[in-house]
Amino acid sequence: MRHLQLILLIFLLGLQAVAGQEPVTDLDGLHQLLSPGDRAFKLMKTVTKYQESQTPRVPDENGMQRELPLDFRETGEFISVELEPAATLKLSTTYTDSSVTIKALENTFCPTISINLKTHVALIKDQHLKSVEKISVESKSNLFQSAWHGYQWQAETKERNTLSQHRITIGKLEENGAVYLEIVWLEGGQRFHYRLLG
């Protein structure tokens, strides 16, 4: 049941972001979202929070109230999903007249991203992501607890909302000015999903 609630919450948060998408005619705002230079990003992990439940007590053979062993306790009720830092990655952003490149400074598994500023096509792991949309999330009811705006690139497929395709999201939080970088890619039959905040 908890997994169903978590999936439903993630789906609804995804719908919220999709509701604010519009086609892109230029990437002039990208330079304001992601400035050139080196930056440390925190690799964020999703954590599900539960409310602690009361420790159940049962009468023993003498009528005394005893706590149930841990194996028999009920788990708490679902509260929320939050992002917590798990590691730090250092990335370098460089601009030329026609492109921007984002790559890891240290030997990490994070893939290099190239975005052609004239054609608006992003390249990640030999995949050309030709579909780019501007995202504007006005509500603070999301994982960041902040309104944010940015761009999202995806592969052009008939199944737009598939979880298995490559995707790049670059955004900026209005609350604290932090840069959000989300990278989803496939490699060797495995799906990788980085949520970076810096």
On whether the CB atoms of residues 149 and 124 are closer than 8 A, the answer is no
In a domain, 60, yes or no: no
Domain that holds residue 156: 22-46+82-197
The residues that bridge with 94 in the sheet, in sequence order, are 101
Least confident of 57-66, 67-76, 148-157, 177-186: 67-76
pLDDT digits (tens, 9 = 90+) for 148-164: 999 999 987 666 555 55
Does residue 15 fall inside a structural domain?
no
28 found inside a domain: yes
**CA–CA dist 81, 84 (Å, integer):** 10
Q: What is the pTM of this model?
A: 0.70
Number of domains the chain is built from:
1
From the number of C-beta atoms within 10 Å of its C-beta (0-12, 13-18, 19+), residue 132 rates as buried
Q: What is the pLDDT of residue 116?
A: 94
